[in-house]
């Protein structure tokens, strides 16, 4: 299913698992079919959703050693869906079929307005920024390459927004306080003129303000 804004949803039986881990027993996974599906997902920059509630979606319903289980059914969506929506792929109990029914739910994120992530030059001045980004990226995530990349990026975004709030939330208030102090010093200069103490104080305040302004600038 394609939408006017270019978003895609592919939902149903794709006749092949994406890896050998998605099949239990039976003949080996046909590599050519698997690679075709992987190439399609990656070439269109799509996201293969994790399945909630079960590992497999189809079985031959045989008892004993003849049971074969495999994941053939999946939900594949455009990355744009996860920018402002919660996407969940659930599996339900099967009745009278070899396939478990799957259900894709997409609900808009509420309670907050989404803003695009904006890189700030001041982040590079923090001594822990590189270690933090490496830690946030190297989380253990299972799935296709596109699914792992999308979730690693989402993990970095959520963590860096919190880190930015904790590390730099008071920087703007500090700048305003420094400006008020500078106004007081410069008013004093107009009233009584320059002396060494006042000159040093003005230079100190100007240096601190320029330092904060340089941190606020974007690339």
Domain spans, the chain:
1-114, 126-168, 171-216
Percent of the chain at pLDDT > 90 equals 0
| H or E element at residue 173 | helix 171-192
Give the C-alpha separation, 31 to 88, whole Å.
Answer: 28
Contacts for 160 with CB less than 8 Å, ≥ 6 apart: 117, 123, 132, 133, 136
Tokens, residue 52: 């909630």
Q: What are residue 47's DSSP bridge partners?
A: 77
pLDDT band at 219 (very low <50, low <70, confident <90, very high): very low
In the sheet where 102-108 sits, what is the strand order?
51-52, 85-91, 102-108
Q: Which of 80-84, 99-103, 170-174, 181-185 has the lowest mean pLDDT?
A: 170-174
Average pLDDT, the chain: 77
For the chain, helix (H) and strand (E) counts, in that order, are 5, 9
User: 1-114 domain in CATH 3.60.10.10?
Assistant: yes
Instruction: Say what the pTM is.
Output: 0.49
How do residues 56-89 score in pLDDT, each as one tens digit? 888 877 766 677 888 888 888 887 777 767 888 8
pLDDT (average), residues 109-135: 70
CA distances from 212 to 19, 73, 174, 203 (A): 51, 53, 9, 14
CA distances from 176 to 9, 86, 198, 205 (A): 49, 39, 20, 11
pLDDT band at 218 (very low <50, low <70, confident <90, very high): very low
CA distances from 35 to 20, 22, 137, 168 (A): 12, 14, 26, 46
CA distance from start to end of the chain: 39
How do residues 3-31 score in pLDDT, each as one tens digit? 556 688 888 889 888 888 888 887 878 88
């Amino acid at each position: 299913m394609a939408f006017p804004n270019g978003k895609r949803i592919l939902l149903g039986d794709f006749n092949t698992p994406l890896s050998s881990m998605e099949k239990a027993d039976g003949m080996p996974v046909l590599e050519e079919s698997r690679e075709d599906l992987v190439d399609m997902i990656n070439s269109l920059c799509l996201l293969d959703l994790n399945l909630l509630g079960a590992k497999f979606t189809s079985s031959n319903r045989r008892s004993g050693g003849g049971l074969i289980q495999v994941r053939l059914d999946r939900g594949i969506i455009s990355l744009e869906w996860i920018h402002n929506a919660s996407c969940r792929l659930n599996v339900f109990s099967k009745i009278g079929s070899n396939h478990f029914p799957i259900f894709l739910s997409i609900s808009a994120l509420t309670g907050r307005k989404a803003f695009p992530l904006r890189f700030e030059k001041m982040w590079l001045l923090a001594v822990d920024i590189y270690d933090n980004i490496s830690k946030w990226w190297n989380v253990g995530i299972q799935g296709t390459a596109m699914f792992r990349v999308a979730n690693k990026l989402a993990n970095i975004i959520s963590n860096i927004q919190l880190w930015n709030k904790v590390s730099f939330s008071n920087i703007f208030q500090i700048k305003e306080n420094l400006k008020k102090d500078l106004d007081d010093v410069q008013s004093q200069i107009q009233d009584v003129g320059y002396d060494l103490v006042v000159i040093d104080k003005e230079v100190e305040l100007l240096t601190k303000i320029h330092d904060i302004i340089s941190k606020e600038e974007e690339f």
